[in-house]
Amino acid sequence: MKQIFYACFFALMAFSLHAQQILPKGFAPGELEAMPIYIQEVTSEVRGDSEPPEAPVRTPAEWEELDGVIITWASFQQILSEIVRHVREETNVYIVCSNANSVMNYLTNAGVDISSNVFFIEDEFDSIWVRDYGPNAGYLNDVGDLVMIDWIYNRARYRDNRVPDVMGEYLDVPVYSTNAAPNDLVNTGGNFMADGLGKGFSSNLVLDENGPQNDFGMSNHSEEAVDQIMNDFMGINEYIKMEALPYDLIHHIDMHMKLLNENTLLVGEYPEGVADGPQIEANIQYVIQNFEAAFGREFKIVRMPMPPSANGNFPDSWNADYRTYTNSLIANNTIIVPTYEEQYDTTALRIWEELMPGYKIVGIDCNDIIPLSGALHCITKEVGTKDPLQISHVPLPDLAPEENDDYLVQAVVRHRSGISAVNLAYKNAEETTFSEVPMVLVDAANDIWQGEIPQSELGSRIEYYIQATAMSGKTIARPLPAPEGYFTFKIGSIPSNVDQLEESQVLGDIFPNPASAITAIPITLDERTHVKLELCDELGRVVDVVHNDIMPSGKEYLFINAANYEAGVYFVNVYSSGKKHAKKLVIL
């Protein structure tokens, strides 16, 4: 049967895909035409278990503990070797390759230590984009046995589509496959993210490729049927889908957004009206107005600038790369982030460091691979731990003055052996050591624990983390790198004069400063209010009105591209609640 498939498949191809060194993230010539034959072959084959698991499944979030990361050793070997260099310090790296000795030699010559945590699996594959076709981790009964979920890959690449079976056999983990009707489903890892509590995100690509009149000859699934398959196989009980972006031709959400915790979305931002900026904003407004994060909390949106190509163009130009900083990998205590040019990277890496304190933030040059519309997230795939200790928690928001009381912290904490103890560690940002209070189980049916951080003075910034110990003795913290990593919130204050306003740090330190490219302007508000931000020259003349609209409470970033202004000394003026805040900015 396989030989018949290949004969038909290659007859449709303009050239041999497998002879190529680099396959694109999108369709290669002839692949779209080959999809019906590929789908027919895949859906007629019995691979793994085509029925959903009998026990409920929980799909973990990307910030949860990993036992490993999968890569396929294809092209872009310099980038792959840097991934191995940094990820192996945190967890195992599983390298699917055609020749293990060749890969070992390359890594050794590159100065990468392969003496531990690096494993080589010699098997067939077609492309580097393992995020899309690799196995999805799931846990039975929330924190039980690790399983792997395999979707049908949306490219006519038979060998890529087999990689989940290869990894399941290698790791001795059962594989459940959506390759047979009525559970046949095409999906891609780059177009999916989950919060670890049953909420999933995708673009409408998942509906287009499985719904009526799809190009692949798939079952004509309704949205309700797609949702049911995702629920049965992955435990996704709320599947949020957004409009596809007009200039991101692969329509994968990891190119412009990333879920950082249960309610925080890192979202790419273009200059106003440019490229996919308007549709991204429409999608985000749709999410925050129609859906709640875990525990009934609001979603928090943090912006990340989307840098232009080396030629200065954005993706609404024909000759522009889709550069992104959200296409990143969280591997336990390390986060690897794509980089391109120092003038843009400086701002992006600092935002990552502020958002994820305690994590090791590593930039890896992705200029070679980004023309194919993919970066680090696209070429890596997580392997969940076989012994999950779950701590799910929505970080506390900045609190208004009237909320200055003891601060309630809730978390879902689970382990298959049961939970021995959960502790809440906290401190004022000015202090050097954490204090601890025990958390108590308040809802045994849902494994909800809670504790209280004692009242603090107005204007204080609190740092905290949660640590849990299972009956088995296993201990884990949230965030994982605690105590170096922590959540933080601020106790609001109402200033009465200009000096106090300055202390409230409505306008944070601008970075980078001096600036020559994308520049971040941090704004921190105690309440939702109107904000006007002006860029003025040394004589006080308004050069540009950067923002003039309502902003939410908490910390947000506004951005300017310093390259659009003449070199010189400027002042950034922020008007909020009838007060003015100013900072000097030097543009080179």
CATH number of the domain to which 562 belongs: 2.60.40.3080
Q: What is the pLDDT of residue 580?
A: 87
Three-state DSSP at 73 gives coil
DSSP state of 511: B
* 27 closest CA partner among 314, 379, 373, 317: 373
* 394 closest CA partner among 533, 530, 297, 519: 297
| CB contact burial 45-62 (16+ within 10 A = b; e otherwise) | bebbebebbeebbbbbbb
pTM of the model: 0.87
Using pLDDT thresholds of 50, 70 and 90, give the confidence band for residue 22.
confident
Domain boundary among 384, 416, 439: 384
**Average pLDDT for 233-260:** 96
**Whether residue 9 is found in the same domain as residue 122:** yes
Domain boundary among 440, 468, 490: 490
Q: What is the pLDDT of residue 1?
A: 39
Residue-wise pLDDT for 452-481, tens only, equals 999 888 888 999 999 999 999 999 999 999
Residues 6+ apart with CB under 8 A from 47: 150, 162, 165, 175, 177, 179
Q: Which amino acid is at 293?
A: A
Q: What percent of the chain has pLDDT over 70?
A: 93
Give the Å distances, CA to CA, from 278 to 16, 201, 310: 39, 19, 23
**Whether residue 466 is found in the same domain as residue 428:** yes
Q: What is the pLDDT of residue 496?
A: 35
On whether residue 317 sits in a domain, the answer given is yes
Domain boundary among 490, 516, 536: 490
The number of CA neighbours under 13 Å toward the Cβ of 318 is: 0
How many domains are contained in the chain? 3
Q: What is the pLDDT of residue 534?
A: 93
**Average pLDDT for 191-217:** 94
Using pLDDT thresholds of 50, 70 and 90, give the confidence band for residue 14.
very low
Residue-wise pLDDT for 265-280, tens only, equals 999 999 988 999 999 9
Q: Average pLDDT, whole number, for the chain? A: 91
**Whether residue 127 is found in the same domain as residue 184:** yes
Range of the domain at 375: 2-384
On whether residue 114 sits in a domain, the answer given is yes
On whether residue 510 sits in a domain, the answer given is yes
**Whether residue 184 is found in the same domain as residue 114:** yes
Using pLDDT thresholds of 50, 70 and 90, give the confidence band for residue 16.
very low
